[in-house]
Amino acid sequence: MTQRDTIRRQDIHIAGRRLTIQTDRDTEVLESICDYVNARYNEVQATPGLSQANQSVMLALCIAEDLFAERQLHNQKIGRVRREANQILQRLENLTSPAEPDSE
């Protein structure tokens, strides 16, 4: 099956608007994404005095901020796992290296 075979048209609802997109995403994943975007949109929409254009910009900034925060957490976890793996490797090397004879 090719990539083109898995792409389908899907109606989604974002910010009270119905959009038809082409996607290969699982329906449940797509619904989760839409729910997330709509929740962030509702937060932005609660800010008084923003034009629709500014709401869109603020929504993009909020989502980008969330993305960067998640990336930072991911990178911190990767760093922690690497440090722990290196410590384990060092311990294994110490256990498997031949003991040096005592020099008297």
Q: Model pTM?
A: 0.73
Q: What is the mean pLDDT of the chain?
A: 91
Predicted local confidence at residue 36, as pLDDT: 98
Question: What pLDDT, on a 0 to 100 scale, did the predictor assign at position 98?
Answer: 77
More confidently predicted of 99 and 45: 45
Q: How far apart are CA 83 and CA 60, in angstroms?
A: 35
Q: Which of 7, 77, 69, 76 is nearest to 40 (CA)?
A: 69
Distance CA 19, CA 40 (A): 18
Tens-digit pLDDT profile for residues 31-41: 999 999 999 99
**Residue 4 pLDDT > 90:** no
